[in-house]
């Protein structure tokens, strides 16, 4: 713009110079006609004239202009006209207002026009006001200069925001509305983002309280690519808080009582703001009584006094206590409470090994599971009590110094073993419930506190049992007989098979040796097979005794006669044989034939006299042989 203005001025100056020159030429000609000829500089010194002659200006038709005139012209242009070629913000003056536009004078060749919509933030705009504008279009179709105030504000705003970010300056912003994760803040006309974590040093639960408020901020982040600005109010107060924090930390001492505000509540404790320094009150340090959650004791933003229990070397982790400000409940426990007294309380905690009973606020006693029942068969504490139950117990031990108390429930009922000999004498029959298994037997509960053991060998007369679970299940009811009683050792030996007669007494006669029975091969096993005579008697048949008369062997499911060749009542062992059946018949036939032959031989035998004659003849014969 400056160059064109300068060019126009030069052209005007040159035209005036040419006109002046022409007038001077005409006047000179007229004078020359009247007067004598005058010698010009060119004529006087032609070599110098040719050397200094400006051929470019001559060809362009430009006359020389005095340098002082040019400098004066350039000065006037610089003072009165703006450079409309550069995209920079300039200041203009409102010289006229219409219903829709504002006419702005920026000292250019013409005035600019800006829509009033760009001044909505400034409803009081009036003639004479100074405004910042950006040349949007130097000359539209009608030759009008078009300006933009909004773009000028944006450019200026970004300049100011960048400067504030680089210099760490504090800026004012207007909180426009809430958004996801924070707030939208108007800073110099730019919408900046205020994260929820940057509003204050403490967690903010109600963002709406900041809407439509003007606050101070620091520009903490700028994304030039996406034109994003992040501001923080928290950063302004952190520096002050840090100084305050150092001062507080420097004065911390164990046992010191401070006032704080509940900043956050978690399942394991409460964070307390001590004025820029955070401390933790663990859930166990909130109350002498057991609580399930800290919100039973405190609430957010509550002011309370706490005592410093401990802190690390750099004092960055501070452990606080609340219950320590009140007297320990054990100290308030009356001296009249002693061992053997009955107390009532509520079950507050249950563990596998027992239950904790709160007998007074902050005073607890432990009932071990072994003290819940007279039974020697221990169970879980959940089998006897539940959390929240109101129960009565007896004090077994009491240690006021260590603040420990053990309680018992079973002591409130008589010991069932006191009259055990009269209730369960040896030989008496009873019914009990199977409570537990071991590899060697079954524990049966006759009543609460009275358990007895049935050894595996005393479960059945006939069955061979490897594990008690093969015979019964936990919870089953069994009939038992008391076999032995140890009062001092609190032990009972029971038997189940003794409740019935021993069937092997009659089996000893029924399945005596050499008795024959018909049965079916049940299973073919190693070295033989098994047969079942009834539900109690399972006999073994060796392989060589499975052979039939035709030489083949019996197979599974095949029925045949068997002879008992072994019966052991003590070891419940029965051995049978099929082969012995037909071999016994063969032996009987052979014996009968031998007897018959002997009888026939006896009938054909000679008399004694005949025999004597025969013997004499034989003797004579032998004597004669000798004589010869």
> Based on the domain organization, do 529 and 570 belong to the same domain?
yes
Report if residue 70 sits inside a domain.
no
Whether residue 13 is predicted with pLDDT greater than 50 in this model: the reply is no
In a shared domain, residues 516 and 570: yes
Residues 420 and 406 in one domain: no
pLDDT per position as a tens digit, 372-389: 887 766 678 888 888 888
Q: How far apart are CA 149 and CA 366, in angstroms?
A: 81
For the record, the structure tokens of 565 come out as 């060749």
In this predicted structure, what is the pLDDT of residue 27?
A: 47
Flag whether 596 is in a domain. Answer: no
pLDDT of residue 454: 92
Which of these, 227, 254, 89, 245, lies nearest to 158 by C-alpha position?
A: 227
- CA distance linking residue 231 with residue 168, whole number of Å: 11
Q: Which of 42-46, 162-166, 422-426, 506-510 is predicted with the least confidence, judged by mean pLDDT?
A: 42-46
From the centroid of its chain, how far is CA 454? 48
Average pLDDT of span 444-460? 87
Note whether 307 and 261 are same-domain residues.
Answer: yes
Q: Kind and range of the H or E element at 611? A: helix 608-627
Kindly report the backbone phi and psi dihedral angles of residue 58, in degrees, each rounded to the nearest multiple of 5, phi listed first: -65, -45
With respect to residue 218, please indicate whether it lies within any of the assigned structural domains. yes
Considering the domain boundaries, does residue 298 fall inside one?
yes
Tell me the per-residue pLDDT of 195-213, one tens digit each, with 9 for 90 and over: 887 887 666 777 778 888 8
Q: 440 pairs with which residues across the strands?
A: none
What is the domain count for the chain?
A: 6
Q: Are residues 396 and 459 in the same domain?
A: no
Per the domain annotation, does 507 fall within a domain?
A: yes
Give yes or no: residues 134 and 181 share one domain.
no
Q: Do the domain assignments include residue 51? A: no
The predicted model gives 503-523 an average pLDDT of 84
The pLDDT score that the predictor gives to residue 455 is 92
- Do 284 and 218 lie in one domain? The reply is no
Domain end: 393, 410, 427, which one?
410
Same domain, yes or no: 548 and 578? yes
Q: What is the DSSP string of 329-377?
A: GGGGS-TT--TT-EEEEEEEEEETTEEEEEEETTEEEEEEGGGS-S-SS
461 and 480 share one domain:
yes
CA distance 301 to 286: 16
How high does pLDDT run on average in the chain? 78
Same domain, 509 and 571: yes
Strand pairing category for 278-282 and 318-321: parallel
Q: Find the domain containing 149 and state its range.
A: 89-153
Nearby residues of 107 by Cβ (< 8 Å), 6 or more positions away:
80, 81, 82
Q: Which of 127, 153, 179 is a domain's end point?
A: 153
Check pLDDT > 70 for residue 75: no
Q: Which of 495, 513, 535 is the last residue of a domain?
A: 495
Report if residue 65 sits inside a domain: no
User: What is the number of residues in the chain?
Assistant: 628
The arithmetic mean of pLDDT across residues 331-354, rounded, is: 84
| 148-161 tens-digit pLDDT | 777 777 777 788 88
Query: Are 286 and 338 part of one and the same domain?
Result: no
Does residue 49 belong to any structural domain of this protein? Answer: no
Which tops the pLDDT comparison, 454 or 274? 454
Q: What is the pLDDT of residue 1?
A: 43
Q: What is the pLDDT of residues 350-364, one digit of tens each?
A: 888 888 988 888 888
CATH number reported for the structural domain that contains residue 423 in this entry: 2.40.50.140
């Amino acid at each position: 713009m400056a160059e064109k203005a300068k060019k126009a001025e030069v052209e005007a100056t040159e035209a005036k110079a040419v006109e002046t020159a022409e007038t001077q030429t005409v006047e000179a000609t007229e004078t020359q006609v009247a007067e004598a000829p005058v010698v010009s500089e060119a004529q006087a010194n032609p070599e110098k004239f040719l050397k200094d002659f400006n051929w470019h200006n001559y060809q362009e038709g430009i006359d020389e202009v005095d340098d002082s005139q040019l400098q004066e012209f350039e000065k006037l242009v610089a003072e009165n006209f703006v450079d409309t070629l550069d995209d920079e913000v300039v200041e203009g003056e409102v010289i006229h207002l219409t219903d829709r536009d504002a006419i702005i004078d920026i000292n250019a060749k013409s005035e600019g026009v800006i829509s009033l919509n760009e001044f909505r933030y400034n409803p009081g705009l009036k003639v004479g006001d100074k405004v910042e504008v950006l040349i949007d279009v130097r000359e539209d179709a009608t030759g009008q200069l078009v300006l933009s105030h909004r773009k000028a504000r944006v450019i200026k705003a970004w300049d100011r925001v960048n400067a504030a970010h680089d210099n760490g300056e504090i800026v004012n912003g207007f909180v426009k509305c809430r958004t996801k994760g924070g707030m939208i803040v108007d800073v110099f006309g730019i919408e900046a983002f205020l994260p929820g974590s940057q509003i204050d040093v403490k967690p903010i639960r109600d963002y709406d309280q900041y809407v439509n408020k003007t606050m101070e901020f620091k520009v903490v982040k700028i994304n030039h690519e996406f034109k994003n600005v992040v501001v923080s109010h928290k950063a302004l107060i952190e520096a002050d808080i840090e100084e305050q924090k150092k001062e507080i930390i420097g004065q911390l001492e164990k046992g010191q009582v401070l006032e704080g505000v509940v900043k956050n509540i978690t399942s394991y404790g409460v964070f307390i703001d001590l004025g820029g320094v955070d401390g933790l009150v663990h859930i166990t340090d909130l109350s002498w009584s057991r609580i399930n959650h800290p919100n039973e004791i405190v609430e957010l933003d509550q002011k309370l006094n706490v005592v410093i229990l401990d802190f690390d070397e750099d004092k960055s982790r501070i452990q606080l206590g609340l219950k320590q400000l009140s007297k320990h409940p054990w100290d308030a426990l009356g001296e009249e409470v002693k061992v053997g007294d009955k107390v009532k309380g509520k079950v507050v905690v249950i563990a596998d090994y027992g239950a904790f009973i709160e007998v007074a606020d902050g005073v607890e006693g432990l009932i071990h599971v072994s003290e819940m029942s007279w039974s020697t068969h221990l169970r879980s504490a959940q089998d006897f009590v539940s959390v929240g139950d109101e129960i009565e117990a007896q004090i077994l031990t009491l240690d006021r110094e260590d603040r420990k108390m053990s309680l018992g429930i079973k002591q409130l009922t008589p010991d069932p073993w006191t009259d055990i000999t009269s209730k369960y004498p040896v030989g008496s029959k009873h019914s009990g419930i199977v409570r537990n298994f071991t590899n060697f037997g079954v524990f049966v509960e006759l009543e609460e506190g009275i358990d007895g053991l049935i050894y595996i060998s005393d479960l059945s007369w006939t069955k061979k049992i490897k594990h008690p679970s093969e015979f019964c299940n936990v919870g089953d009811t069994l009939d038992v007989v008391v076999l032995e009683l140890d009062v001092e050792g609190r032990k009972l030996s029971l038997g189940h098979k003794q409740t019935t007669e021993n069937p092997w007494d009659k089996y000893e006669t029924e399945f005596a040796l050499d008795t024959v029975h018909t049965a079916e091969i049940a299973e073919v096993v190693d070295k033989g097979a098994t047969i079942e005579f009834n539900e109690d008697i399972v006999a073994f048949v060796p392989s060589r005794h499975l052979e039939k008369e035709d030489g083949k062997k019996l197979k599974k499911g095949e029925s045949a006669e068997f002879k008992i060749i072994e019966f052991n009542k003590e070891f419940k062992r029965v051995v049978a044989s099929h082969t012995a059946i037909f071999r016994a018949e063969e032996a009987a036939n052979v014996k009968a034939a031998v007897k018959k032959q002997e009888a026939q031989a006896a009938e054909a035998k000679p008399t004694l006299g005949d025999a004597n004659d025969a013997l004499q003849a034989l003797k004579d014969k032998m004597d004669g042989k000798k004589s010869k």
